[in-house]
Structure 1
Amino acid sequence: VLVALDARERDRALADLALFLAATGGGAVLLSLGLGILLARSVLGPVHRMTAEAATLTPEDMERRLRPDTVVKELHRLAETLNSALDRLGEAMARQRRFASDASHELRTPVSVLMANAELLLRRPRSEEEYRMGLRRQLKTAGQMRDVAENLLALARADASADGFARDPLLLDEVAAAAAADFAPLAEEGGVRLEVANGRPVPVTGDPVHLHRLVSNLVSNAVKFTPAGGVVSVRASAEDGEATLTVEDTGPGIAKEHLGRIFDRFYRICDARHQAEGAGLGLAIVDGIVRAHGGRIEVESRPGEGSRFRVRMALRGHGDGGEES
């Protein structure tokens, strides 16, 4: 018995099913592709915007920063990290520019003096003694330039933060006594009595070279401005968990209008009681060294009665991260 069945209907159904599956599959692929593109744009778009904004930053516009509010929340941390790096870079560039400005400001005059003296010596034949005198002037000017360069380097190191400073255990009283002793001949020559108080040891953690410079600058100023018959006293002590260095003099004192600026770079007091000597960097260096050691400096002064500079910093084992010995 033969049974026949028309297959055309089945073939059409299978063709329709294949067409449906192909259309559905293609649509799913296109939909997935579209969603993938949208997702990639939503994720990478803020990164591209951040990259484009970062590319517009220039050394002349170091105040600009990336705005975390313009990107998705997940990228806020990245923007803040980049801004932190830009802050450090900006600070480094500011220090570099300030150093270059300070150097050009202070070295311009001695360089001009050197050139003028050399031109004067070469203008006509001179005696041996005249050449000697000219060379002495040149040597003095070169010494001033060396002092300026050393002071500027000390300021630059202090500006760069305490990372470049040694953190050695030492006794502040010994550093103060050693630095003050360097000025004993100068004080004696000027008729000034230099007193160094001997007390209990004052242990601190710090950079011995820079702390020596700190004391030297304070004592140098005190001896320089104290008239014959006056007294300069240096004392290191431990008070309430702090190490205190006090340098006091019986000099002309400092007027109130100057007290707020004496730690500024290149600030010099020019009046009848003070002759403008030096570059006006000594106290700026002192302030930078004190801050680099996490300390503070105070000054008390009255015209005609003298001045008292007091430096305070942590005793070793009292908030400085060191251990008491």
Structure 2
Amino acid sequence: MKISTKIFLCYLLINAVCFYYPFNWVLDSMRTRYLEGVEDPLVDQANTLAALVEYELEQGTFDPQLWGEIFNRAYRRAVDARIYKLLKQKVDETLYITDSKGVVIFHSENPEIIGADYSNWRDVTRTLRGEYGARTTRLEGGPEDVSVLYVAAPIILEGKIAGVLTIGKPTTNITWFVEQAKYQIIVMSLLSLLAAGILSYFLSRWITVPVNRLTRYARLVKDGQRTDFPKLGKGEVGEMGDALKEMKDALDGKQYVEQYIQNLTHEIKSPLSAIRGAAELLAESMGEQHREKFLKNIKNESLRIQDVIDRMLALSTLESRSELTVMGPVDVKALVQTVVESFEPVFSLKNIGSEVVVQEELVITGDSFLLHQALANLIQNSVDFSLAGGKVSVCARQKDDTVRISVCDQGTGIASFAENKIFEKFFSLQRPDTGQKSTGLGLNFVRQVALLHGGNVVLENRAGGGVEAVLTFPVSLT
């Protein structure tokens, strides 16, 4: 599992857990909060009406029948109250009054209850004791989640509790409000969780971007491609990247020196053996013609060693660069014509034709000297493997988002066993006309130049015979 996926899942799990507990607490306590909100105005209302009853009792004007008529009128009223999304169409409060012994002396809904003993009801009992009295009782014949909230207030005459006034409010509407609120909370919680999931996804991607850059860089280095070290920031990943880069540089330096010495030793071993053998033979008596032959061999092998060393130095200098130090606009047409013209004597000597096709006003940005050497190496390679009567073609044009410079020949092509080795250092094939091999550094040099310019080089056999070498550069460099 990718680290970005792990971060995403962990962050999502943390959000889900953190959402669950407060969400569950809100849902569980919501009904209680609504009942508290309703109970407070009921306390005010009960005490206000109790004060009114006290006044009428003191004045001797308390009339249960009048109170009954008032409540009957209230119950018959056509109510049309839109409370947000709730339509309230009737008065649903209940009021009853008991005496000091808890006996009902008035009931707003059911006069038949008058005379019943309510002294055991919690609201009446506690109020008669001078405490706050309230109770919740399930509504008879109603749904299980609907009950009636009763709040009582004492009726005080001459400093003593002479009775209890209780107001009852069904929780039907409260239940409706709670269900609506729960639905909205659930919807908002799901949307919030979805938003948290989306944010956690992008957060995980943002956190792992430096890691992905570092991984991509490591793979490009493994494949031998030249690439700039990615920007990783200043955090822990950046420190890790710096450490890996330092380790890479140290290993590259050590490995390069070892490989350099091995390759150089291998390449000069044969010419040194030839020189030593010729020197030993020259110590013996021989004719002048043989002496000149061995002296020529010594000179040729010495020049071969010098050529290997010069090319190795040029290649090592190129490989040590992480970026171009000299850059400028390079006219591709002028570059191609200059290099091809320098090979005219060679073309004439080997009886090889040449062709140049270059798109007008084609310009790339780079080091003109290195580009000249790279193109010259490709043309030299084509000349070496071309037979008399053949032709070397150089074309340059822009294709899509790249500048493409190709060198084609009609030579012997690349043997199947060598297709994956042609860019390796010191790997070389025998020339068809002489049977000799080159230093095997030319194509590797071309590849380093291409990579240093942000491009690439590819050699492939042509369908009609010969080889096509293609240098490509990003059009962004033009």
Q: Do both share a fold (TM > 0.5)?
A: yes
Alignment-derived partner of residue 259 in structure 2: 98
Aligned-residue Cα RMSD (Å) equals 2.9
Alignment-derived partner of residue 232 in structure 1: 392
Contact 1:157 1:164 in 2 (8 A): no
The answer on 1:111 being equivalent to 2:272 is yes
Deviations 1:127-158 (A, max 9, x none): 3x554443322222122112211222233233
Alignment-derived partner of residue 252 in structure 1: 412
- Which entry has the higher C-alpha Rg, 1 or 2? 2
Where do residues 22-171 of structure 1 align in structure 2 (5 Å cutoff)? 81-124=242-285, 127=288, 130-163=290-323, 165-171=325-331
Alignment-derived partner of residue 71 in structure 1: none
Residue number among 390, 397, 403 corresponding to 1:243 in the alignment: 403
Contact 2:356 2:395 in 1 (8 A): yes
Structure 1 counterpart SS, 2:323: helix
Structure 2: unaligned runs, 5 residues or longer:
1-234
Hey, what's the Cα distance between the residues in 1 that align with 2:325 and 2:265? 26
The Cα shift of 1:77 comes to 6.3
The Cα shift of 1:242 comes to 2.2
Contact 2:385 2:412 in 1 (8 A): yes
Where do residues 175-324 of structure 1 align in structure 2 (5 Å cutoff)? 175-269=335-429, 275-302=435-462, 305-315=465-475, 318=476, 320=477
Deviations 1:299-318 (A, max 9, x none): 33147611111110134xx2
Contact 2:383 2:392 in 1 (8 A): yes
The Cα shift of 1:257 comes to 4.2
Contact 2:429 2:437 in 1 (8 A): no
Structure 1: unaligned runs, 5 residues or longer:
1-73
The Cα shift of 1:125 comes to 6.3
TM-score (norm 2): 0.46
Hey, what's the Cα distance between the residues in 2 that align with 1:120 and 1:183? 39
Hey, what's the Cα distance between the residues in 1 that align with 2:412 and 2:357? 23
Q: Which amino acid aligns with 1:89?
A: A
Hey, what's the Cα distance between the residues in 1 that align with 2:463 and 2:302? 35
Structure 2 counterpart SS, 1:103: helix
Hey, what's the Cα distance between the residues in 1 that align with 2:284 and 2:391? 48
Structure 2 counterpart SS, 1:262: coil
Contact 1:252 1:304 in 2 (8 A): no
Contact 1:268 1:276 in 2 (8 A): no
Contact 1:254 1:303 in 2 (8 A): no
Q: Which amino acid aligns with 1:174?
A: A
Alignment-derived partner of residue 36 in structure 1: none
Hey, what's the Cα distance between the residues in 1 that align with 2:431 and 2:340? 27
Contact 2:403 2:472 in 1 (8 A): yes
Aligned pairs, how many?
244
Hey, what's the Cα distance between the residues in 2 that align with 1:181 and 1:109? 35
Structure 1 residues 89 and 136: alpha-carbon distance in aligned structure 2, compared to 1, 3 A threshold: same
Deviations 1:58-100 (A, max 9, x none): xxxxxxxxxxxxxxxx988656544432222222222222222
Structure 1 residues 125 and 294: alpha-carbon distance in aligned structure 2, compared to 1, 3 A threshold: same
Structure 1 residues 131 and 258: alpha-carbon distance in aligned structure 2, compared to 1, 3 A threshold: closer
The Cα shift of 1:271 comes to 9.7
Contact 1:173 1:235 in 2 (8 A): no
Alignment-derived partner of residue 45 in structure 2: none
Structure 2 counterpart SS, 1:197: strand
Structure 1 residues 170 and 193: alpha-carbon distance in aligned structure 2, compared to 1, 3 A threshold: same
TM-score (norm 1): 0.66
Structure number with higher strand proportion: 2
Structure 1 residues 273 and 80: alpha-carbon distance in aligned structure 2, compared to 1, 3 A threshold: same
